[in-house]
Amino acid sequence: MSVIPDKSSDLTRRKLLGRAAAAGLLATPAASVLAACAGGSSGSKTNTGTKGPDNPFGVADNSKVDVVVFNGGLGDEYPKFDKTLFDGKHGKVTVNLSSTQKIKTEQQPKFSTTPADLINNSGADSMALDTLVNDGALTDLSPLLDAPSWDDANTKVRDTLLPGTVSDGTFSNTFYVMNYAYTVFGVWYDQALFDKNSWTVPTTFDEFFTLAAKIKAAGIAPFAFAGKYPYYMRWALMSWIWQAGGKQAMVDIDNLKAGAWKTPEVTSVISNVEKLVKDKLTLTGSDTLSHTESQQAWLDGKAAFLPVGTWVENEMRKTIPSAFKMKIANFWANSASDKAKGAVFAGSGEGWIVPKKAANAAGGMEFLRAMLSKAGSAKFAELTSSLASVKGSGDNVTNSTALKSANDVMKAASGDLVSFKHPDWYADIDKAEQNAIGELMAGRMTAAKFQDTMQAAADKVAADSSVKKQTRT
């Protein structure tokens, strides 16, 4: 059992990527200078083969491709399948797959001389992306985005990817990192339980409140959450605010705009959350539970809904009851008049990089193209119970209702993905927000007080000249 959840969750990775991106932005001028230098001297050292729709990067026959896989939570089985795909198309090219948990220890010393051609830069011992980007040590992967996809010469790879994947891998305006795994956030429920009672998943708060009365009558708590770590509930809150007020509402909050926490849309969302607590629709004691405790209570059938990300199936695998049909739905809308109704909160992670000095960069990219194929991504989804950042990777998965439903959520996603930056940018606001959400969810703070507290925290940081400000659009 993990005690502090952000080790196993997506949070650290999101934070890391956020910071790396921020650092990358700051270093833009330097990076472009470096890239310019590097660009002049980096002719490919191996012979290139003939380029064509089936070989867009010109991988030379009889060359070899070194691929290093991180053997962590997702295992090292899935690239073996991709190798068979690759071998099928390029019989005369040798792929050397190796897997390790010590990416940095083993790869960093070789990085400026003889690095591997494709590296799965992940895990606790991974290389700092901002440093790699700033040192100009990575190959620009945009040719991969513009190459024809593995399965259909008329579709570019770019168009087969899930939203957010390209921007998550872009640093200093260049696409350097191919994030292969995809995380979706939402409310989870047990389809078997809902079928038995003929309940349907609500699409607005009003529908939820109507359904909640029925759920409560059945002796089940409508809503459970991880109160001990309030950032779990923050994912839900931010999604609701984004849906209610549209992207601009979150941009204003992130940019510390005066009054951003007091808009009618935010007021409406927080009042709904207050009602959720006040009407005792939450699992008793949920405000004191850790993530695993609340997830187990939900699995035990004590609560109907639970907000969390797609890693929950893997995290709880040992204790999922056999009849349980785990499914995710997008966070229901705040109301029918939401400005961005149906916006989904999701993002990509698990990065793959091609070093600038790779002897066979073309081979590395070609292997990535194979990984991003329909068959490759489907195999990844099947083996890891995690979506790949390729559209429809979960289409044919039969062994996981959770994965299938996450796939469906992504298919129905409309408009921009939900994203928020203020907790990563400003530690003081992060702390104030977590404490306020904790109090709100425990019923010790009113909606109005919550908004006042958050506005005050934002105003304080906005007025503090010693805090470096960041902005987004």
Minimum distance from residue 83 beta carbon to other proteins (Å): 39
Minimum distance from residue 246 beta carbon to other proteins (Å): 29
Nearer of residues 140 and 293 to other proteins, judged by Cβ: 293
Contact pick of 442, 446, 449, 460 for other proteins (by CB under 8 A)? 442
Window 267 to 286, contacts with other proteins (CB under 8 A): 280, 283-286
Minimum distance from residue 430 beta carbon to other proteins (Å): 7
Contact pick of 80, 156, 216, 228 for other proteins (by CB under 8 A)? 228
Nearer of residues 227 and 245 to other proteins, judged by Cβ: 227
Nearer of residues 42 and 296 to other proteins, judged by Cβ: 296
Nearer of residues 155 and 319 to other proteins, judged by Cβ: 319
- Taking CB under 8 A as the rule, does residue 230 contact other proteins? yes
Window 131 to 160, contacts with other proteins (CB under 8 A): none
Minimum distance from residue 218 beta carbon to other proteins (Å): 17
Single out the residue of 171, 160, 162 nearest to residue 35, CA to CA.
Answer: 171
Window 382 to 441, contacts with other proteins (CB under 8 A): 427-428, 430-431, 434-436, 438-439
Contact pick of 190, 287, 315, 382 for other proteins (by CB under 8 A)? 287
Which region among 44-52, 80-88, 287-295, 331-339 touches other proteins (by CB under 8 A)?
A: 287-295
Minimum distance from residue 127 beta carbon to other proteins (Å): 16
Contact pick of 202, 227, 307, 351 for other proteins (by CB under 8 A)? 227
Nearer of residues 92 and 431 to other proteins, judged by Cβ: 431
Nearer of residues 51 and 444 to other proteins, judged by Cβ: 444
Minimum distance from residue 259 beta carbon to other proteins (Å): 24
Three state DSSP letters for the chain = CCCCHHHCCCHHHHHHHHHHHHHHHHCHHHHHHHHHHHHHHCCCCCCCCCCECCECCCCCCCCEEEEEEECCCCCCCHHHHHHHHHHHHCCCCEEEEEEECCHHHHHHHHCCCCCCCEEEECCCCCCCHHHHHHCCCECCCHHHHHCECCCCCCCEHHHHECCCHHHHCEECCEECCEEEEEEEEEEEEEHHHHHHCCCCCCCEHHHHHHHHHHHHHCCCEEECCCCCCCHHHHHHHHHHHHHHHHHHHHHHHHCCCCCHHHCHHHHHHHHHHHHHHHCCCECCCHHHCCHHHHHHHHHCCCEEEEEEECCHHHHCHHHCCCCCCEEEECCCECCCCCCCCCCCEEEEEEEEECECCCCCHHHHHHHHHHHCCHHHHHHHHHHHCCEECECCCCCCCCCCHHHHHHHHHHHHCCCCCCCCCHHHHCHHHHHHHHHHHHHHHCCCCCHHHHHHHHHHHHHHHHHCCCCCCCCCC
Contact pick of 139, 290, 386, 400 for other proteins (by CB under 8 A)? 290
Write down the residue that tokens 């901002």 correspond to.
Answer: 130
Please give the size of the binding site for other proteins, defined by CB under 8 A: 29
Minimum distance from residue 242 beta carbon to other proteins (Å): 23
Window 1 to 40, contacts with other proteins (CB under 8 A): 1, 3-4
Residues at the site binding other proteins, with contacts judged by CB under 8 A: 1, 3-4, 227-230, 280, 283-290, 293, 297, 427-428, 430-431, 434-436, 438-439, 442, 444
